[in-house]
Structure 1
């Protein structure tokens, strides 16, 4: 217990042994503390030098004999200095030492964090706030010269959809290779489906997945942006921008894997071949229904997304099957892929 104040185990043993006595000699304390008498005496002298104990001499029981040739010194006894007086300075000293240690620790930790931040700063950049996130996102899309890889998940939290559409059109206009994998939950509402179909018609390549692990945009395989979901906890929207590194390479590999496993959605018309002409060709509305069904939606869900009745969806599917000359929806999907409807 007292070792925290700088006492050794032997000093603490002698000190606590004296605690139960008004006074005691080195010999008495040695027996109780399990030490030799000389060791006990040395420790008591050290404690006295630090003000923890005080030496006292016993009073004489009788007047000294004037005829005695040699005076025998009376044994020295010791008593404790009140702990509130003696131990308080030691406690203050330890507190000061602990404070200095905490200050040094904080300084070293801050220095380490600063160094680590400088090291990682070339790899990951943190962007916080709606305006900052939106600005950085648009920078990546508008700055792309060769390729954009995008994961679309859920509702946008920082970048308005109209701004996204504008940057997409700009990229497609510059001839950027634009590939998108959209989670099924992203295709909610007729307006979204219509906008996505227009983008596909303009040259965007789109595939769907049942789910995706994150939102993401990768620009020219040189930078990527991944939003951080802070809105549930009340924080501001934020994101990380990843620069060339192993992490960026991993994100590109993740996109390519999801792209390979994704289902094509909609057609640009460029890949179609062997299609009938005139009234024997599928209408845009029929292809819209087909694309949602191939993305894994039920008739009811497709009808809800397109603002149609289930009967209308079934009628359009029936016509597509008639045009294809097939008897099942599985065959319809195979035919649609073969002739480039999707």
Structure 2
């Protein structure tokens, strides 16, 4: 947590240990953190120099206070209590570190913007400013993670078949990182993508974390679009011995076309939901009950006979029976009891 403010892991361990008590000696901190005595002494000296901790009481017993002499220092009397340390209030001590890190981030963002514009405006590489080709497993994987982890607003993804250059578990880590940052993450997956081993479990976890995913019968290509500024499209290998390769498309008419392609497929795809019985895709319109069929279903579930349902709805008895039969077909039910159970699970009513 505090590494983002420039503290090392040992420094964070000592600092958070002091948070739980008013004061502590170096010996106390050794026992509490599990660090070696010399490490605790060095950390306390560093934290003291940076104004993050202060000495509450001094003595020379046990581990010498931060900044004290060696173990044979003449002023270490056995009758003196060991030095005790306390935290400087975090609101006072950590605020300058936070400002320093925030300013460093702003400088890095400014440098990033300048370098990006310089790259795009370089006259010597006009084609490279629009499309770049990446070849090789490591290079493709590196560029994939770079684009996904660099997304700040939105990721649009087409998923088809098994991954080639990027291991599925590595992709899951990048995906989780994007969701944790609040990135709007939308995925259209080809129907057979879910057939892979363990994919269902991974998709359910991602949906729970905020991923939106829809299913399509098929897709024209694999793709990832990052913040609508860059896209990565894997290339087909000419033969089985060829190296994986991909193109990275920067802002251009081609990138705009890829975004439009995604939105078109997204609108036509079926949403995928995580239910108590597993993943479920929202059925197409022809596979859902009509409003009239749901009216019949509601009355049947209330225990009303077919004849009374027909009377109340102004239908013929044959129409009621036909609608009931279609409901049972949609539910895959052999009895009206099974129909009622499926209607409840599917949220028809």
State the TM-score, normalizing by the size of structure 1: 0.48
From the CA coordinates, give the structure whose radius of gyration is larger.
1
Return the structure number with greater relative CO, CA threshold 8 A, min gap 6.
1
